A and B are shown apart, each in its own frame.
Chain A
Amino acid sequence: MLKRLLLALLVGWAGASFLFELDSAVTGYDGRESASASPLLWRVGMPEITRLERCLAPARRSLPARSAVAFASPDEPPGAASFRWMWAAYLLPAQDVIPASDPAAARLAEHAIACGTRIEDPRLAPLRTLPGGRLYRVLR
């Protein structure tokens, strides 16, 4: 009897936990378009990621597959540039996306993308304007 009671309590606790998380997930999803979070917690549908998708979409169509692309974005809040780069790599799977701060970018990149920022570098020629950013060609 005691085992049954304890098991029933365990099921009740697990059930309450599940419903709590289900409610949190559904509420979060419903409010995704106005949600804000630290870069570590960015998700698809959040404004930060939607802006990035919008910036990268025309570039994705313009860039040749397997080309090396340097990616830059503001490091605001601190650490955000690194997370934006990882999202950019995910959103441009056909290209080799290199963080603009990585020494390999200067050696290998054929193009550069800046989202939410501008790159002032004499080795770069603006190729086209992106929503909230710019696509450059690297001059060799």
Chain B
Amino acid sequence: MTALLAASVLPILLGLLGSRLSPLAAPGDGALYRATLYVLGGAVVLHLVLTLLDFAGVPWSLALLAALGAALFLGAWRLLPRNPQRSRLPSDLGWGDGLAFFVLVAFTLVALTGWIAIPDFIYHWGLKGHRYDLGRGVDYAFLGRSWNFLLHPDYPNLAPELFAVTAMLAGGFEVPAMMLGTGVFFALLLAAAREGLRQGGADRFTRQAGLAVVALSAGAFGMGHRMAGAADWMMALALAAVLPPLLRPPDRAGDWQIGIAAAFAAAAKEEGVPLAAILVSVQLGRRVWAERRLAPAAAARTALPAAAVILPWLGRTVHHHLFQPFNSGPFRLARAGEILAAVMEAMSTRAWHGFAAAALLPPLLLLLRRTRAFAAVATLQLLFYVYVYFTIRLDDLRFFILANFARLAFHLVPASLVAALLAWPSPSRPSPAAPTAAGLQRQP
């Protein structure tokens, strides 16, 4: 119980740290969504601090992290402008919120037992986290051992870093404390989906039903496919968190929001690196399309956070020879039939109960103007996953796809469900034009 309490402190501290990044919040953003952005921002800052300590050869310690966190918090307090907008707690709670809360609590309680922990928590995420806790830093020598290639040594380290810092706070590596993080990411995912539905202008029934469907489908998959402790929640969260800025015309806050979500995704998983590149490219492309030019400040806001995460990761991974030779090979078009069959088989995984089909919706959502920016991001990410299947060097491609595509679809499904619901007009209320941040602020 003490470990759980200690573990629950981490997201609060990350949120507090992130809350000093005032440009992250747009005028119309709700309190729950702001909290989501703040935790993402705090996690990115933590990752950068830990990376800096690793580069400097300084072992991690709670006292050092607390001192650095406090210095950053106070420095941001003094130097960064305060956000004059007060965030409003949701006043329109309904049955969908209640269902989502029930799902979140039930899922988290089951997750705490460790019974639905993803096998990868044993094989690499959890092992790395425990190892980094014991070694007080990322153990590159361990990652580089020849027999540890199954640990995905080339993956970015935010997920195991969060496990390690949780263990430091909890006084030891305890599975329930680690699993609590998944409950937190699930809660933030739901907050982002809720905000996407709200900022997308969905009517009240669609908002409630949409949130319920996202919660129930993600909760069912999370339990049936054993997803507790998986970094895939962070990918799904990053994509859901960019829905609001991608639904409105590009603006200053949107640049920051997309920049931080891109950095978070890039720090979470290797698949997050292309997602970050896609997010930054799409937002910059929208800027250029809307303004016929690209302001350097906008480019910096959007791209710098992800660059700050990706470049050190790339440097370390190349320096320690951690990229695996089987990661990519020549493009083999002849695999198309095998890939299609295996992808369809993976999508019919029981735990998805048909909801994996939502991962295929983004190409259709390209047809609609208001969902086009999100659809472009999700479609390109989907194409990246398929591209990897054409190039990876493996003997048993079918087994590989069956082992991971259902999980990769999870990155796309929650946000795609929200976007699809926004694209589905209500007869009584035609789809509104893309909202602006200022317009959302004026909404009752």
Contacts and interface: CB of A to CB of B under 8 A. Distances in A.
Q: Do chains A and B interact in one complex?
A: yes
Interface of A: 1-4, 7-8, 10-11, 13-15, 17-18, 20-22, 24-26, 28-29, 32, 40-45, 65, 86-87, 89-90, 93-94, 96, 98-99, 102, 104
Q: How large is the interface on B (under 10, 10 to 19, 20 to 34, 35 or more residues)?
A: 35 or more
B11 to A, nearest CB: 24
Nearest to B351: A21
Given A26-B110, A90-B122, A43 B224 contact: no
B36 interface: no
Interface string B111-139: 00111110100110011001100100000
Interface of B: 99, 103, 106, 110, 113-117, 119, 122-123, 126-127, 130-131, 134, 142, 145-147, 150, 173, 175, 205-206, 209-210, 212-213, 216-217, 219-221, 223-224, 226, 351, 353-355, 421, 424, 426-427
B217 A14 contact: yes
B224 A10 contact: no
Chain A contact residues: helix, strand, loop or mixed: helix
A40 B120 CA distance: 11
7 contacts: A7-B213, A7-B421, A11-B212, A29-B113, A43-B226, A44-B117, A104-B145
A1 B426 CA distance: 9
A29 B110 CA distance: 9
B110 A90 contact: no
A28 B220 contact: no
A44 B121 CA distance: 11
A99 B106 contact: no
A1 B290 CA distance: 37
Contact of B127 (A14, A18, A24, A89): A89
Output the residue of A17, A86, A90, A94 with the most chain B CB within 10 A: A17
A83 B117 CA distance: 16
A42 B205 CA distance: 42
A32 B123 CA distance: 20
B320 to A, nearest CB: 16
B402 to A, nearest CB: 11
Nearest to A102: B147
Nearest to B426: A3
A128 B350 CA distance: 46
Given A3-B206, A86-B150, A93-B131, A17 B353 contact: yes
Given A29-B110, A45-B115, A99-B147, A18 B216 contact: yes
Contacts of B110: 22, 25-26, 29
B427 A21 contact: no
B224 A24 contact: yes
Given A17-B216, A25-B223, A87 B134 contact: no
Contacts of A65: 134
Given A17-B217, A18-B216, A102-B146, 11 more contacts: A7-B209, A15-B212, A22-B220, A24-B223, A25-B223, A42-B119, A43-B115, A90-B126, A90-B130, A93-B131, A93-B134
A21 to B, nearest CB: 4
Given A4-B205, A32-B115, A96 B216 contact: no
Nearest to B353: A17
Contacts of B220: 14, 17-18, 20-22
A21 B127 CA distance: 27
Contacts of B145: 96, 98, 104
A13 B212 CA distance: 11
Given A93-B127, A104-B146, A25 B212 contact: no
B412 to A, nearest CB: 17
Output the residue of A21, A26, A96 with the most chain B CB within 10 A: A21
A87 B134 CA distance: 18
B353 A29 contact: no
Given A7-B206, A14-B216, A22 B106 contact: yes
Contact of A7 (B106, B117, B205, B221): B205
A12 to B, nearest CB: 10
Nearest to A108: B145
A2 B424 CA distance: 11
A22 B119 CA distance: 19
Contacts of A94: 131, 134
Contacts of A43: 114-115, 117, 226
Contacts of A11: 99, 209, 212-213, 216
Contacts of B123: 86, 90
A65 B353 CA distance: 45
A51 B393 CA distance: 36
A44 B131 contact: no
A21 B209 contact: no
B173 A93 contact: yes
Contacts of A8: 209
Given A43-B117, A65-B134, A86 B122 contact: yes
Nearest to B213: A14
Contacts of A13: 353-354
Contacts of B424: 3
Contacts of A98: 145, 147
Given A7-B205, A14-B353, A28 B115 contact: yes
